[in-house]
Amino acid sequence: MDAPRANLPPLSLHVPEPKFRPGDEADFSDVDVPPAGSARRPDTADPASSFHELAWSLVRVLDESGQAVGPWNPRLDPEALRKMLRSMAMVRAFDERMFRAQRQGKTSFYMKSTGEEAVSVAATMALASDDMCFPSYRQQGILITRGYPLVTMMNQIYSNKGDPLQGRQLPIMYSAKDHGFFSISGNLATQYPQAVGWAMASAAKGDTRIAATWCGEGSTAEGDFHSAMTFATVYKAPVILNVVNNQWAISSFSGFAGAEATTFAARAVGYGIAALRIDGNDALAVYAATQWAAERARTNQGPTLIEHFTYRAEGHSTSDDPTAYRSAGEPNAWPLGDPVRRLKEHLIALGEWDEARHAAQDLELAEEVKRAQKEAEKNGILGHGMHQPFETMFEGVFEEMPWHLKEQSEQMIAERKAAGI
Amino acid sequence: MSVADEAGATVRMNMIQAINSAMDVMMARDPDVVVMGEDVGYFGGVFRATAGLQAKFGKTRVFDTPITEIGIIGVAIGMGAYGLRPVPEIQFADYIYPALDQLVSEAARLRYRSAADFTAPITVRSPYGGGIFGGQTHSQSPEGIFTHVSGIKTVIPSTPYDAKGLLIAAIEDNDPVLFLEPKRIYNGPFHGHYDRPAKTWAEHPGADVPEGHYRVALGKAATVREGEALTILCYGTMVHVVANTIEELDVDAEIIDLRTLVPLDIEAIEESVKKTGRCLIVHEATRTGGFGAELSALVQERCFYHLEAPIERVTGFDTPYPHSLEWAYFPGPVRIGEALKKLLKD
């Protein structure tokens, strides 16, 4: 290599580094948290270019005293609020139980959504029940909110003989077309252009249903994200593009997806797409933003990108230990709090809920999850024999099985006979 | 209406016209068929394969797309999940690689991973192959990348008749199909001699194409010529190069045009090789790990005791497709002739 030219300053490479590592005290005082109610709410018919500043703002509804304030307050009735709280608490109870099931060796893998329950539950409540969701792997709240059976979710997690996906998919990669829930892929952001395509098809057919999709802030770096944004803006697709900015992509902080330079909502600005940056731990902000974006989509105003500013309170999955790469104090120091607690306090402030009822509900939900687990385990747990028949391995690669798969299926059966199994 | 009635009158078509006719027929029959891709709309495609379709069926069924292959395939999968039957075009097979993840991890596996909750009934059309001075970015034959993937069918026609019938069968198929169009023979069957006048489809019986609806079944090979001396397995442009070469060399070869690589017509291959006892495999794609390697292994596994000579492969070289030296790269009559000599020497 030639020596650098001495008359010019040397270049330096910037490699992002998170503010806190293990052992550091987490301090988020520099995170800008504007007061609840301070962001304006444009009319859904307004052009995206007229409210671009919202991409750098933070839509918040619930204030520190548990009041819902400002123009984004969706003014939900107490019954809806209690349903929202119950679904979020159910997600948490389900996550706790299934995480433990993995630790007990009953399955290979699990992913909790602790701290992000509002992102999926409140959004789902703001959508119509037949709108189509293209989730990533941390939106189990969609299924729970739409009343998908817990036992079926667990059957999938256990890959047992009751698993509707026949034990073919990693745990939590659900598929539930009849609940408007697209098959989850392990490859990141692939669902983004697919959601846009679904929405384009719905529009081309004069349908009334819209699509919604979710990816993490880390996955916005994928080409699929940008291809989807281009298609969405070009055809004004009726789709809601959710970026769940939970600060961490496994061990990589959001800086590796570009967060040091701008917000993720701001990605939309270059595409001319409507953008909202919202408090993702504020269920009412999530609801209001989704409702607003859905209204735009339904009236042919096109796509909206919503950045849900939130925090992944636990590890990425059962396969990583977050204390190995980030400060253990981060989850508690996070300035936007716990979404379940915030919604609970709001209901209490309204006089529509109390701590005793909440504690009783938590117990009831834990019992419900436990009952479902017992039921699911009757169908088997991973690696304990009660799986789908062996030959199903070869079914469904194609609609009709070609000769080479038939031959391989016969070979597998012969292998098992030879092994005396 | 009988099948013959549906097929209608037979007219002369080149391969572009036949492909265009297949989409025209399918769009008229099925309102869920949509055509999308770079330049396919108003302009009708860089090879004119979609000419007239937007004017006839409207912009919501035939539309231009942004230049992002990830998006084209990803959007097509989403449309398929909705219930449409998209026919996306990738302008050149050389441009398909950005879409590889959407094809391999998504389209090809959606049925399996969701236990048929969702499927991807998409037909990806793409011109492929060289011989047109396209250089390394407009000449590649990537079929072997896709035949290696479970869950996607790979189809390659060699005549206008087959192109239309196979494309209709592909669009009607409920699984994803990669439909590779040998662009060197869009306008005429190539004899393999770049320095001689090009032929048109005018004289070729494969250019008699019904105007209406008919299918050529996926997974079925065609015996282009019966013979006794050896079996030649080939597809696409090479079918014509092979046919002309054996005629020039007066070799009594049996030529099997595979037409579909996955699922493969193994019965036709076995039957022919067991009859002739010799096998030559010809493709334009690079050699190492190419589809010819799979064919060679299959023939060896199933016909070994019938073989009278080692299996031979004639392929492109393992280099990028060169521009100025295209005809030194192309597996033409000389390379085929040398292989024939080896195969037939005793």
- The tally of domains found in chain A comes to 2
State the best of B85, B87, B112 to mutate against chain A, taking most chain A CBs within 10 Å: B112
Residue B188 lies in a domain: yes
ipTM given for this complex: 0.96
Q: By CA distance, what is B265's nearest residue in A?
A: A403
Cβ of residue A221 closer than 8 Å to a chain B Cβ: no
Q: What are the pLDDT digits (tens) for B138-162?
A: 999 999 999 999 999 999 999 999 9
Contacts of B268 in chain A (CB under 8 A): none
Count of CB pairs separated by less than 8 Å, A with B: 146
Claim to verify: residue A398 and residue A273 sit in the same structural domain: no
Q: What count of Cα atoms within 13 Å lies in the side-chain half-sphere of residue B76?
A: 37
B229 and B105 co-located in one domain: no
Asked if pLDDT for residue A331 goes beyond 60, the answer is: yes
pLDDT at A310 over 80: yes
Residue B112 lies in a domain: yes
What is the percentage of chain A residues whose pLDDT exceeds 90?
96
The CATH number covering residue B263 comes to 3.40.50.920
Q: Which residue in B279, B282, B281, B280 sits closest to B307, CA to CA?
A: B279
What HEC string does B225-291 produce? ECCCCEEEEECCHHHHHHHHHHHHHCCCEEEEECCEEECCCHHHHHHHHHHHCCEEEEEEEECCCCH
- Percentage of chain A beyond pLDDT 70 is 100
CB pair distance less than 8 Å for B150 and A396: no
Q: Which of A132, A185, A231 sits opposite B105 (nearest CB)?
A: A185
**A403 and B CB contact within 8 Å:** yes
Which residues span the domain enclosing B144?
3-192+197-208
In a domain, A164, yes or no: yes
Nearest CB to B115; choose among A196, A200, A396: A396
Q: Assess whether B329 and B296 both reside in one domain.
A: yes
**Cβ contacts (< 8 Å) between A183 and chain B: which residues?**
110, 113-114, 117-118
What residues in B contact A205, CB-CB < 8 Å?
82, 84
Strand partners, B62: B35
* Contact residues, chain A, for B66 at CB < 8 Å: 227, 230-231, 234
Quick one: which H or E segment has residue A261? none
The pLDDT score that the predictor gives to residue B5 is 78
Q: Between the CA of residue A52 and those of A214, A265, A299, B172, what are the distances in Å? A: 21, 9, 20, 45
Q: Is residue B214 in some structural domain?
A: no
Same domain, residue pair B339 and B308? yes
Q: What pLDDT, on the 0 to 100 scale, is given for residue A6?
A: 86
User: Alpha carbon of B135 to those of B126, B156, B284: distances in Å?
Assistant: 17, 21, 14
pLDDT in tens, B279-299: 999 999 999 999 999 999 999
> Residue A376 — very low, low, confident or very high, per pLDDT cuts 50/70/90?
very high
Tell me the chain A residues in contact with residue B74 when contact means C-beta distances shorter than 8 Å. 190, 192-194, 196-197, 224, 227-228
Q: What is the CATH number of the domain that holds B47?
A: 3.40.50.970
Report DSSP state, residue A326: S
Question: Any CB–CB contact under 8 A between B143 and chain A?
Answer: no
- Asked if A224 and B84 come within 8 Å (Cβ–Cβ), the reply is no
pLDDT digits (tens, 9 = 90+) for A174-217: 999 999 999 999 999 999 999 999 999 999 999 999 999 999 99
Residue A421 has pLDDT above 80, yes or no: no
Do the bridges between strand B230-234 and strand B253-257 make them parallel or antiparallel, or are there none, so unpaired? parallel
- B3 has pLDDT over 70: no
- Which of B65, B113, B173 to mutate: most A Cβ within 10 Å? B113
A233: number of CA atoms within 13 Å, CB side?
A: 19
Tell me, yes or no, if A384 is annotated catalytic.
no
Q: Is B9 on the interface with A (CB under 8 A)?
A: no
What are the CA-CA distances from residue A230 to residues A271, B77, B122 (Å)? 7, 16, 21
> What is the per-residue pLDDT for A420?
87
Residue B4's pLDDT is what? Answer: 65
Instruction: Give the pLDDT band of residue B1 (cuts 50, 70, 90).
Output: low
Range of the domain at A420: 391-421
Task: Report the number of distinct structural domains present in chain B.
Answer: 2
Residue B19, min C-alpha distance to chain A (Å): 24
pLDDT, residue B2, reads 63
- A264 and A398 assigned to the same domain: no
Residue B35, pLDDT above cutoff 60: yes
Task: Kindly report, residue by residue over A10-30, the tens digit of the pLDDT.
Answer: 999 999 999 999 999 999 999
User: Given pLDDT bands bounded at 50, 70 and 90, which one contains residue A4?
Assistant: confident
B301 falls within a domain: yes
CB of B129 closer than 8 Å to CB of B183: yes
- Same domain, yes or no: B152 and B271: no
pLDDT, average across residues B169-197:
97
Chain A CB within 8 Å of residue B261 CB: no
Using the beta-carbon criterion (under 8 Å), do A190 and B262 form an inter-chain contact? no
Sign of torsion over alpha carbons A294, A296, A300, A301 = negative
- Given B183, B208, B233, the domain boundary residue is B208
Chain A residue closest in CA terms to B104: A187
pLDDT exceeds 80 at position B193: yes
Whether A303 maps to a domain, the answer reads yes
What's the token pair of residue A84?
Answer: 């929202």
User: Same structural domain for residues B92 and B241?
Assistant: no
Distances (CA, A) of B289 to A141, B297, B312: 45, 11, 15
Is the domain of B238 the same as that of B306? Answer: yes
Catalytic residues of B: 138
Query: Same domain for A187 and A291?
Result: yes
Mean predicted confidence (pLDDT) in B117-126:
98
How confident is residue B179, by pLDDT bands cut at 50, 70 and 90?
very high
Look up residue A154 and give its two tokens. Answer: 């667990």
Summarised one tens digit per residue, pLDDT across range A136-146 is 999 999 999 99
Beta-strand ranges (E) seen in chain B are 10-12, 33-37, 62-64, 85-89, 123-128, 153-155, 177-182, 208-210, 222-225, 230-234, 253-257, 260-262, 279-286, 312-316
Among residues A260, A292, A295, the alpha carbon closest in space to that of A276 is found at: A292
B264 in the same domain as B175: no
Element (H, E) at A212: strand A211-216
Nearest alpha carbon to residue A298 among A169, A130, A419: A130
Contact residues, B window 65-84, toward A, CB-based 8 Å cutoff:
65-66, 68, 70-71, 73-84
Verify whether the Cβ–Cβ distance B81 to A164 is below 8 Å: no
Residue of B nearest to A200 (CA): B79
pLDDT at B293: 98
Cβ–Cβ under 8 Å, residues A195 and A228: yes
Rg (CA), chain B: 20
Mean pLDDT of A55-74: 98
Distances (CA, A) of B262 to B11, B156, B220, B267: 30, 10, 10, 13
| pLDDT confidence tier of residue A36, bands split at 50, 70 and 90 | very high
Pairing verdict, β B312-316 and B279-286? parallel
pLDDT at B205: 97
Point out the catalytic residue in the list A146, A316, A346, A387. Answer: A316
Identify the domain boundary among B208, B234, B253.
B208
pLDDT at B198: 94
Are residues B79 and B65 in contact, defined by beta-carbon separation less than 8 angstroms?
no
Mean pLDDT of B304-332: 97
Do B204 and B234 sit in the same domain of this protein? no
In the predicted model, what is the mean pLDDT of chain B? 97
pLDDT at A373: 98
Residue A330 has pLDDT above 70, yes or no: yes
Q: Give which of A54, A209, A58, A219 is closest to A135, Cα–Cα.
A: A219
Asked if the C-beta of A189 comes within 8 angstroms of chain B's C-beta atoms, the answer is no
Q: Return the residue matching tokens 């008749």.
A: B161
Residue A76 lies inside a defined structural domain of this protein: yes
Mean pLDDT of B189-214: 96
Q: Are residues A147 and A194 in the same domain?
A: yes
What pLDDT does residue B268 have? 98
Q: Which of A183, A198, A224 is nearest residue B82 as measured by Cβ atoms?
A: A198
Report the Cα–Cα distance between both ends of chain A, in Å, rounded.
62
Q: Which two tokens stand for residue A299?
A: 């009236």
Give residues with Cβ within 8 angstroms of B304, minimum separation 6: none
- A268 Cα to chain B: minimum distance (Å): 17
User: What pLDDT score was predicted for residue A178?
Assistant: 98
Which whole-number Å values give the CA distances from A270 to A233, A237, A239, in the listed order? 10, 16, 17
Q: Are the C-beta atoms of B78 and B88 separated by less than 8 Å?
A: no
Lowest-confidence range among A44-53, A256-265, A277-286, A382-391? A382-391
- Closest CB from B61, B151, B264 relative to A397: B151
Q: Does A231 sit within 8 Å of B65, measured CB to CB?
A: yes
Which residue type, as a one-letter code, is found at position B106?
Answer: E
Q: Is A200 on the interface with B (CB under 8 A)?
A: yes
Give yes or no: A138 in active site: no
Give residue A109's pLDDT: 97
Tell me, what's the pLDDT at A3?
80
Whether B21 is covered by a domain: the verdict is yes
B79 and B148 belong to one structural domain = yes
Q: Which of B60, B62, B68 is nearest to B49 (CA)?
A: B62
One domain, residues B311 and B204: no
Q: What is the mean pLDDT of residues A383-401?
A: 92
Q: Which domain-ending residue is among B208, B239, B264?
A: B208
Q: Which of A182, A192, A194 to mutate to test the interface with B (most CBs of B within 10 A)?
A: A194
Give me the CATH number covering residue A198. 3.40.50.970
